[in-house]
Amino acid sequence: MPKKMRLFSLTPPQILVLGFAAIILCGAVLLTLPIASADGRGTPFVDALFTSTSATCVTGLVVVDTSLHYSIFGQLVIITLIQVGGLGFMSMATLIFFLTGKRISLKERLLLQEALNHGSMEGIVRLFRKVIVYSLTIEGVAALIFAIRWSFDMPVGQAIYYGIFHAISFFNNAGFDLFGRITGTPFTSLTGYAGDFVVNFVAMALIVLGGLGFVVLAEVRDYPKCRKLSLHSKVVLSMTAFLIVAGALVIFIFEYSNPRTMGPLPLHAKILSALFQSVTPRTAGANTLDIGGMRQATQFFTIILMFIGASPGSTGGGIKTTTFTTLVGAMVAMIRGKEDIVLFRHRLGQNRILKAITMTMIALVLVVFVSMVLSTTEPHQFLMILFETTSAFGTVGLTMGLTPDLTTFGRIMIVLMMFAGRLGPLTLAYALQPKPEKDLYRFPEGKITIG
């Protein structure tokens, strides 16, 4: 009875942290089994833990090639972890409740609200139903298109399997791929399809839809009927579109003549690859260009895109597009001498601004601290280390080639960064903080000079 009471007294953030940790450990144990590896020898626990964390946190960083190292069983474990991690373990638990006819309690509704990063508990069960329907529908359609396209390159059965695997991986912004077995070269991702319209557009559509957030998807789906979008959806859609277009333009200019990336490609493939490399830092992790071959300016620009990440309530990570918009709005308001941040004729509350600043500062401190630590343990260039750390925090999965060469300590640090990035810095902070006590008094206001 005391144990049950202690479990019940845990806050939603604490339960989410423990739940994700439990799933990661279970996945790691399964991936260490001999049946999970292609050679039947099993996988070292640290490598299995890294892969399990990367899959559950929908990141895509891997120390071994997924198709060459893992068996079909191991790949199925990975794709299951991706689906559970992308939707959130509470979403999967709620699905089980629905299938078994169990009633959703208030505590479980609070957990579901926290898992989906929803603003209120009102309509949370209806939103969950839409999450499941939208996810399965989008993944199913994309898997069919992929299967048809890849049936021209491989046997039909393999094409269907590849279609399902990559549809789930890309929609959940995981970035795991199986093309190492096709090319014979590990970690190739989609580099062989840089000029393929079907593969590029379907993959980009999956990444964008998965990164918008389920609340936005629900509102867009209902827009033809109600002709109304919330401020949240307007901000997410506009900022996502801006980042994709601006990012593609910058990457196109920087990499146009680079002989290691876009240089040898025809014009249409250059445009497609620029678009794809602008979309994939939304926390997808797939790539059609060699990241290590990019110019340093492009690599650093990609770090910025990865740090911003996807949108709240999505399968992606980063500080989120809404946080970035709030920070830009605060800067513009300060420069113009305005007291309020106004977006689409709506004023943002002070608590939203403080939350955005707090989220960004915690994320920045995490990335900088881990990058500094790894720069002392990993014999590589600092830009490569910063790229890897930001990719882990943003649950992106892009790499300049550092991941397989990480030391054991480096792999553990990246595991912790992926875990923190998937749950979010504030969720971890709320989970670790003691029970807050209400202040009985306020100190007098003071003034300091800023700037």
**119 or 389, which is more confident?**
389
Q: 136-146 pLDDT, tens per residue?
A: 899 999 999 99
Q: What is the pLDDT of residue 450?
A: 67
Reported as a pLDDT band with limits 50, 70 and 90, residue 113 is low
Treating both helix axes as pointing N-terminal to C-terminal, what angle do 124-150 and 106-115 enclose, rounded to 10 degrees?
50
Q: What is the pLDDT of residue 447?
A: 75
Q: What is the pLDDT of residue 1?
A: 42
Can you tell me the distance from the alpha carbon of 425 to that of 108, in angstroms, rounded to the nearest whole number? 22
Q: 53-69 pLDDT, tens per residue?
A: 999 998 989 999 999 99
Contact 414, 392 (CB under 8 A): yes
To the nearest whole percent, how much of the chain has pLDDT over 90?
53
Q: What is the mean pLDDT of the chain?
A: 86
Buried b (16+ CB within 10 A) or exposed e, 189-219: bbbebbbbeebbebbbbbbbbbbbbbbbbbb
Q: 406-432 pLDDT, tens per residue?
A: 999 999 999 999 998 887 766 666 555
CA dihedral (75, 81, 83, 85) in degrees, to 10, reads -150
Can you tell me the distance from the alpha carbon of 402 to that of 381, in angstroms, rounded to the nearest whole number? 10
Locate the DSSP E strands across 283-372.
Answer: 342-343, 346-347
Residue that the structure tokens 């845990």 belong to = 10
Burial class of residue 3 in the structure, from the number of CB atoms within 10 Å of its CB (0-12 exposed, 13-18 middle, 19+ buried): exposed
**17 or 408, which is more confident?**
408
- Give the mean pLDDT of 275-289: 90
Burial class of residue 158 in the structure, from the number of CB atoms within 10 Å of its CB (0-12 exposed, 13-18 middle, 19+ buried): middle
- Give the mean pLDDT of 29-51: 94
Cα dihedral 114, 117, 120, 126 sign: negative
Reported as a pLDDT band with limits 50, 70 and 90, residue 79 is very high
* Domain chopping of the chain, boundaries: 9-429
- Range of lowest pLDDT (89-93, 327-331, 423-427): 89-93
- Give the mean pLDDT of 70-83: 95
| Residue 5 in this model has a pLDDT that exceeds 50 | no
Contact 111, 74 (CB under 8 A): no
CA 368 to chain centroid: 19
| Residue 114 in this model has a pLDDT that exceeds 90 | no
| Residue 379 in this model has a pLDDT that exceeds 60 | yes
Whether this prediction's pTM lies above 0.85 is answered by: yes
Nearest to 305 by CA among 348, 342, 265, 276: 276
Q: What is the pLDDT of residue 43?
A: 94
Reported as a pLDDT band with limits 50, 70 and 90, residue 436 is low
To the nearest whole percent, how much of the chain has pLDDT over 70?
84
Count of CB atoms situated within 10 Å of the CB of 329: 19
Contacting residues for 13 by C-beta, under 8 A, at least 6 apart: 114, 427, 428, 430, 431
Nearest to 330 by CA among 355, 310, 308, 306: 355
Burial class of residue 241 in the structure, from the number of CB atoms within 10 Å of its CB (0-12 exposed, 13-18 middle, 19+ buried): exposed
| Residue 372 in this model has a pLDDT that exceeds 80 | yes
| Residue 150 in this model has a pLDDT that exceeds 80 | yes
Can you tell me the distance from the alpha carbon of 81 to that of 75, in angstroms, rounded to the nearest whole number? 10
- Range of lowest pLDDT (126-135, 202-211, 215-224, 266-275): 126-135
- Give the mean pLDDT of 97-124: 58
- Give the mean pLDDT of 322-332: 93
Q: 160-192 pLDDT, tens per residue?
A: 999 999 999 999 888 899 998 887 788 888 888
**294 or 315, which is more confident?**
294
